Amino acid sequence: MRSDLANDILQLTREHLVLVGIAMLLAILIGVPVGILLTRHPSARQWTLGLASVMQTVPSLALFGFLIPIPFIGGIGPRTVIVSLVLYALLPILRNTFVGVTSVDPAVCESAIAMGMTDGQLLRQVQLPLAARTILAGIRVATVTTIGTATIAAAIGGGGLGVFIFRGVASVDTTQILAGAIPSAVLALLADWGLGWVERKLSPV
Amino acid sequence: MPLVEFRNVVYEIAGRTILSGVSLSVEAGETLVLLGRSGSGKSTALKLTNGMLFPTSGQVLVGGRSTRDWDPIKLKRGIGYVIQDVGLFPHFTVARNVGLVPRLEGWNDPDVERRVDQLLEIVGMPAADYRARYPRQLSGGQRQRIGVARALAADPALLLFDEPFGALDPVTRLELQQQFQIWQKDFKKTSIFVTHDIREALRLGTHIALLVNGRVEVSTQAAGFSSSASPEARAFLACL
């Protein structure tokens, strides 16, 4: 019985990590480049960041509900979960990328331009390295929240540690709830600590 | 042919006129000081010279060619630029900062390194001691020397200085001004130097152009400035 529970915890933790891992990878692959694009086309900033903020305010269960009937990205199962996790994770990544790049000391950017750097060189050699910490801070916040939000995945058959929680709530079984909640909290803390460490290591100056 | 020539340059931004009909010329080997109060348009004139800005009307010619006709990257890389806050890259070592333009220009590593050592020597900061440092580990005066070294790196014919010594304490400022005079004598570069400090203007300039509200009020050999009758010139001279 005990070892069954331990096995389940391991199995579901693994599922949880896969959900969060894929979602974060996609969110970074979308959020960072879009954030950079916004710094080049400031006119698009208002509505893009606005849209990302609105996404964050939609309750996650409701978002699942909206996504399920949509073809390709919707349906029951992990795919829908990943799509919605990506949507939630986008805002902090997008915003921190934008803020990180735009808050690089204007004197530094101006002298880079005056030295004859192309826009690409300015971005790669100056702005991104100096914004790295801020961007990573956004990724860190997004990862920690995503680990928590991913527990709701179980509601639509996405698996993960939420399975324990929903099962526990349904059968009023505290052990089950804790079996989901504790590992999820530990994952969040580990992610926070690990990414915080990388962030400090990345300190550009 | 003057190295730099402003022909009736007007620069407007957001409905404000920053320069209204400026004509100037800088011959090779001269140091033109643009003197004026804050907001008189002197920094704008510098940015028009290396193509960071373009005139609303009129023309800025560098080497006889309008800045609009230059390849913007090539124009900037051919002109050294030193600004007040230096704008050294905080995440680059001194060596990487100084070697920036040669590296952008595709020099190979040994050439860049040799050039960096040579420049650090010129600006009085021995390479062995300073190469590997970061800008934050330097004093204001040292950062400014590195800024000059970086501007000289690709051996440009023209140097632009935007109040480079403005933020330094008076003693360090004087040291760097004296150093600047030595560099001028040794390298015979052409410079345009922006300042609001009349002493600095008289000390460093071969020519002085006094800007008032976007116009050239006085343009003269440095030696003739003190006999100018213009009220603004008198106001500056009163600071001496």
Q: CATH number of B1-78+198-240: 3.40.50.300, 3.40.630.10, 1.10.10.10, 3.30.420.10?
A: 3.40.50.300
Taking an 8 Å cut-off on Cβ atoms, the answer to whether A117 and B104 are in contact is: yes
Taking an 8 Å cut-off on Cβ atoms, the answer to whether B76 and A110 are in contact is: no
Taking an 8 Å cut-off on Cβ atoms, the answer to whether B87 and A116 are in contact is: no
- Nearest chain A CA: its distance from B223 CA (Å): 32
Taking an 8 Å cut-off on Cβ atoms, the answer to whether B91 and A113 are in contact is: no
Is the model's pLDDT at A205 over the cut of 70?
no
A71 touches chain B (CB under 8 A): no
Which candidate in A105, A113, A115 is best for mutational testing of the B interface (most B CBs within 10 A)? A115
Over range B33-61, report the average pLDDT. 93
Percent of chain A whose predicted confidence (pLDDT) is above 90: 64
Q: For A124, which DSSP code?
A: I
- Looking at residue A204, what is its pLDDT? 58
- Looking at residue A51, what is its pLDDT? 87
| Long-range contact pairs involving A183-192 (C-beta distance under 8 Å, separation at least 24) | A183/A9, A183/A12, A183/A13, A183/A16, A184/A16, A184/A147, A184/A148, A184/A150, A184/A151, A187/A13, A187/A16, A187/A17, A187/A20, A187/A147, A188/A144, A188/A147, A188/A148, A191/A140, A191/A143, A191/A144, A191/A147, A192/A140, A192/A143, A192/A144
Residue of chain B with shortest Cα separation from A129: B91
Least confident of A1-5, B26-30, B227-231: A1-5
A201 touches chain B (CB under 8 A): no
Please state, in angstroms and rounded to a whole number, the distance separating the CA atoms of residues A116 and B216. 29
Taking an 8 Å cut-off on Cβ atoms, the answer to whether B50 and A111 are in contact is: no
Is the model's pLDDT at A57 over the cut of 90?
no
- φ/ψ region of B213 (left if φ > 0, alpha if ψ in -120 to 50, else beta) reads left
Please indicate whether residue B85 or residue A186 has the higher confidence score (pLDDT).
Answer: A186
Over range A6-32, report the average pLDDT. 94
Taking an 8 Å cut-off on Cβ atoms, the answer to whether B104 and A112 are in contact is: no
In this prediction the pTM is 0.83
CB pairs under 8 A between A and B: 59
Taking Cα atoms as reference points, which of A143, A149, A154, A153 lies closest to residue A188?
A: A143
pLDDT, tens digit, 9 for 90 and up, residues A80-95:
899 999 999 999 999 9
pLDDT, tens digit, 9 for 90 and up, residues A141-177:
999 999 999 998 888 888 899 999 999 999 999 999 9
Over range B83-110, report the average pLDDT. 90
Residue B76: its chain A contacts at CB < 8 A?
Answer: 113-116
Is the model's pLDDT at A1 over the cut of 70?
no
Determine the Cα angle at B229 with ends B225 and B233, to 5°: 55
* Strands across the sheet containing B207-212: B79-83, B158-162, B190-195, B31-36, B207-212, B215-221
Over range A53-67, report the average pLDDT. 84
- Looking at residue A86, what is its pLDDT? 93
Percent of chain B whose predicted confidence (pLDDT) is above 70: 99
Q: With bands split at pLDDT 50, 70 and 90, how would you rate the model's confidence at A2?
A: low
Please state, in angstroms and rounded to a whole number, the distance separating the CA atoms of residues A130 and B132. 19
Residue B146: its chain A contacts at CB < 8 A?
Answer: none
pLDDT, tens digit, 9 for 90 and up, residues B111-143:
999 999 999 998 889 888 999 999 999 988 899
Taking an 8 Å cut-off on Cβ atoms, the answer to whether A110 and B52 are in contact is: yes
The residue with tokens 């790295």 is A132
User: Could you tell me if B84 and B164 are in contact, meaning their C-beta atoms sit under 8 angstroms apart?
Assistant: yes
E runs forming strands in B54-128: 57-62, 65-66, 79-83
Over range A112-126, report the average pLDDT. 93
Over range B220-239, report the average pLDDT. 90
Residue A125: its chain B contacts at CB < 8 A?
Answer: 89
The pair of structure tokens assigned to B240 is: 């001496």
- Looking at residue B167, what is its pLDDT? 80
Question: Mean pLDDT score of chain B, rounded to an integer?
Answer: 91
Taking an 8 Å cut-off on Cβ atoms, the answer to whether A204 and B136 are in contact is: no
- Looking at residue A66, what is its pLDDT? 84
A34 touches chain B (CB under 8 A): no
The pair of structure tokens assigned to A125 is: 């050699």
Taking an 8 Å cut-off on Cβ atoms, the answer to whether A110 and B87 are in contact is: yes
Q: Which of residues 110-149 of A touch B (CB under 8 A)?
A: 110-118, 121, 125-126, 129-130
ipTM of predicted assembly, 2 dp: 0.84
